[in-house]
Structure 1
Amino acid sequence: MRTVLVSGPGGAGRTTAAAATAVSAARQGARTLLLSTDRGTSLEAVLDGDGTAVPGLRAHRIDTQATFRADARDVQSRLGSLLDLLGAEPLDPEELTELPGADSLALLRALRESADGSAGWDVVVVDLPATPAALAALALPEQLRRYLRRLVPVQRQAARALRPVLAQLAGVPMPAQWAYEAAERVDRELAAAQAVIEAAGTTVRLVVEPGAAAADAVRTARTGLALFGHRLEAVVANRLLPDHSPDPWLAELSGVQHKELAALRSELAGTGTAVHELPHLGREPRGTDDLTALGAVPPGPGAEPDGADGRAAEPWSVTDQPGAEDRFRWRLPLPGATREGLGLVRRGDELVVDAEGFRRILPLPSALRRCTVDGAALRDGALEVRFAPDPDLWPR
């Protein structure tokens, strides 16, 4: 299955580009699902309906409120005995209002369900929020699973054998049992969503409108995407004006656009990231005919899995230089990163990396856990950390 995540700066036309990509894929014969996180009606407006005019295409706007209410009711039903024990009164359905972050959790559920084999989709196109919010949502499974491992560590689960006995004595399930069971269930659901995000067949398309701010937006987005290991398949230059126009104002604007587009192509040359162009139709695209006229490139076939589980390769690499004092080099590509916007801290067996306002905590490979950090540098668009074996931990 191919999953295409579409993001970009606010107002760049993400929904239009995502819908055009989905229509193009469906017209190529792929069974295509178009998901949107937009709370308004922009998806329906762009499609001029629900997209059913194109065979094989289904559009679905994620209902954050309904998802939150369903999850809240499920939690209350699972905690029924505990609530009774505490004398608590469950919340009525009409009292449930979504909490901050509910939209990200609804997105993760939709991604998880889209990968269900019974769904039968060949291509899933996801209209994500603007880039910072999109990266935060996509990073959530990894972050929450890390928190769960710290708060409910596996090593302490040996005591679970005592809980059935304690539960019989108390007459109700013990709170610790609910905590572990809830943690296990949440971890499974997060792992399923994370598997979709990290799959070899999942890529990102970044939508921009060429102009003065586009270069900075692309540069920052590339840094964040690389830090989290997302594969930037293409940058979509949206609302491009024709090369020549009799109107002086349009001719000047077109010249700026195409100058920025040339600079963008030059920056991305040799990176494996394509540049797709979507023309300005002279109006807001409406309906599948307009979306087809944009000429969006459909997603290609899925990448070959790097492992049996279908995950893509880790974004970092480690090289071994026997005989060198700083024997190991850990390298993480961070295109667009600057020294001023970069931070690095080692914390136990992890590296905390800050880059242009984004942060990720990365586990060190086993060999590097027995080493000390000997230095770090930002070279040629990559963070390189040098490690030297710790003589107290390294076998002689």
Structure 2
Amino acid sequence: MHTLLITGPGGAGRTTVAAATALAAARRGHRVLLLSGDPGDPLTPLLGDPLPPGLRLARVDSGREFRDELVALQERGSALLGMVGARPLAAEELTELPGSEEFALLRALRRAAAAPGTDLVVVDLPPLHRAVTTLALPAQLRRYLARLLPAEKQAARALRPVLAQLAGVPMPAQWLYEAAARWDEELAAVQAVVEADTTEVRLVAEPGPAASDALRLGRLGLALQQLDVRTVVANRMVPRDCADPWLAGIAAQQEKHAAEWAADLPVVPLAHLGADPRGTDDLDRLAADGLVPQVPAPRRAWTVEDRLAADGVLVWVVPLPGAVKSDLDLVRRGDELLLTAGPHRRIVPLPSALRRCTVSGAALADGELRIRFTPDPGLWPRTH
């Protein structure tokens, strides 16, 4: 099964492109599931009711998921809540908190990826800056859980009643560790979908200077999470043969920026219809070569180059397309590396060989950050 994640700057038409992509794939005989996290209902005017053959639609009810999850959490922790005198909240008095939409969308993505009888899942993600943070959530939260509630500490649970008596305060209940294990399992399943070779990211933008800046930073954030952008949809392209000089100027500017994007990424141009698309006839008019995704190639790994014989170093190659030197910062802390790229940040564990080295330099060239590591004589095995 193939998963296509679609995002772009706000107002770029990503929902329309997601619908057009799903419809075009269904027209070609694919069994398509279109997943939307939009709180409104923009897809029904686009796709109609009933849906075209081969196409299914899944919507995310983030409010309901938030209520169900919090009520279930209260029930599992009822003993601890009762001990501290807490009054549980009823489902009808719960309103969702900021961030619940992202969690609900990720859970829905996991369910969609496991849905039987589906060839392609098209996901209408939030705007680009939110999409980057949403896709980074599973790995980040798993790291937090591992640090705050390490699994190996559960082995000491038999000592907690004794420790509670000695300390005079209640110890964390077993339900907390069980909840952490359940969350980690669910997050791992979502992370596996996001990072799978069969998952690709498509960006949608209306060509222009603001869109170019947004795409560069968004693509940089995705690359920091090791998520490759495979295509860019240049949306609402004005025809180049316009008689109106003003429209002809806009068309020229759009073509200039689309050509810059095409320098290192496939670009799929979609025409401006003169009005907002409505109905499957309009979506069919938007169909273009390259809109239906092909089977993606394996994602590019962060490789370690062995240059010990030539230069005495190992080099970690981190692809960061569009990065400039002023965007970047890195700090070594223990067995982890803190990488900053523009407004984005990621903490990554070092490969085992690099943990026995010290960072000796870094250079950015041709969209790659090359971090040099020199073996630590006290930790590196000696050769005879």
TM over 0.5: yes
Q: 90, 108, 111: which is aligned to 2:109?
A: 111
Show the counterpart of 1:71: 69
**Which one of the candidate residues 221, 225, 240 is aligned to 2:222?**
225
Counterpart mapping for 1:208-223 below 5 A: 208-223=205-220
Q: Distance in 2 between matches of 1:83 and 1:362?
A: 36
Code of the residue aligned with 1:279 in structure 2: it is A
The equivalent of 2:167 in structure 1 is none
Are 1:376 and 2:362 counterparts? yes
Q: What is the identity, as a one-letter code, of the residue corresponding to 1:248?
A: P
Q: What is the aligned partner in structure 2 of residue 323 from structure 1?
A: 309
User: What do residues 25-60 of structure 1 show as CA deviations (whole Å, max 9, x unaligned)?
Assistant: 1111111111112222323333344xx431111122
Report the alpha carbon displacement of residue 186 of structure 1 after superposing the two structures with TM: 0.3
2:143 to 142, 146, 158: 146
Partner Cα distance (2:83, 2:249) in 1? 72
AA aligned to 1:220 is L
Contact map agreement 1:43 1:61 (CA 8 A) in 2: no
Q: Distance in 2 between matches of 1:353 and 1:283?
A: 43
Encode CA deviations 1:274-331: one digit per residue, 9 max, x unaligned. Answer: 2111111111111122111101421213546xxxxxxx553x1100013345420011
For 2:300 and 2:238, locate their aligned partners in 1 and report how far apart those are by CA, in whole Å. Answer: 38
Q: Does 1:95 align with 2:93?
A: yes
Find the aligned partners of 1:352 and 1:322 in 2 and give their Cα distance.
Answer: 24
* CA positional deviation for 1:166: 10
Query: Corresponding residue for 2:197?
Result: 200
For 1:325 and 1:231, locate their aligned partners in 2 and report how far apart those are by CA, in whole Å: 30
Question: Aligned partners of 1:244 and 1:302: how far apart in 2?
Answer: 35
Amino acid at match of 1:349: D
State the alpha-carbon separation in 2 of the partners of residues 313 and 261 from structure 1: 24
Residues of 2 paired with 1:166 and 1:359: CA distance? 39
In structure 2, stretches of 5+ residues that fail to align are: 165-169
The TM-score normalised by the length of structure 2 is 0.92
**Match 1:394 to one of 374, 380, 383:** 380
CA distance in 1, matches of 2:63, 2:307: 54
Measured in 2, the distance between the counterparts of 1:373 and 1:68 equals 43
CA distance in 2, matches of 1:300, 1:350: 36
2:372 partner amino acid = R
Deviation of 1:80 (Å): 2.3
Could you tell me how far apart the structure 1 residues matched to 2:161 and 2:52 are? 55
Counterpart Cα distance in 2 of 1:342 and 1:384: 12
For the pair 1:61 / 2:59, whether they are aligned, the reply is yes
- The correspondence for 2:337, drawn from 351, 357, 370, is 351
Distance 1:303 1:379, change over 3 A: closer
Which amino acid is the alignment partner of residue 306 of structure 2?
D
Q: TM-score, normalised by structure 1?
A: 0.90
2:35–2:57 contact (8 Å) kept in structure 1: yes
Match of residue 117 from structure 2: 120
Which of 162, 174, 178 is residue 175 of structure 2 equivalent to?
178
Q: CA deviation at 1:219?
A: 1.8
The match for 2:295 among 298, 301, 307 is 301
Structure 1: gaps (5+ residues): 168-172, 305-311
Within the alignment, does 1:336 sit opposite 2:322 as a pair? yes
Alignment-mate amino acid for residue 87 of structure 1: G
Question: Which of 240, 254, 260 is residue 263 of structure 1 equivalent to?
Answer: 260
Say whether the 8 Å CA contact 1:53–1:288 is kept in structure 2.
Answer: no
Distance 1:346 1:35, change over 3 A: same
Is the CA contact (8 Å cut-off) linking 1:325 and 1:388 kept in structure 2? no
CA RMSD of aligned residues (A): 2.1
Instruction: Tell whether the 8 Å contact from 2:80 to 2:173 is kept in structure 1 after alignment.
Output: no
Match for residue 275 of structure 1? 267
Contact persistence 2:303–2:316 (CA under 8 A)? yes
* Equivalent residue letter for 1:211: G
Contact 2:313–2:374 (CA under 8 A) maintained in structure 1:
yes
SS in 2 for 1:340: helix
Q: How far apart, in 1, do the equivalents of 2:355 and 2:376 lie? A: 9
Whole-Å separation in 2 of the counterparts to 1:135 and 1:62: 19
Contact 2:22 2:122 (C-alpha < 8 Å) held by counterparts: yes
**SS of equivalent to 2:325:** coil
| Structure-1 separation of matches of 2:150 and 2:77 | 22
- One-letter amino acid of the counterpart of residue 42, structure 1: P
Identity value in percent: 57
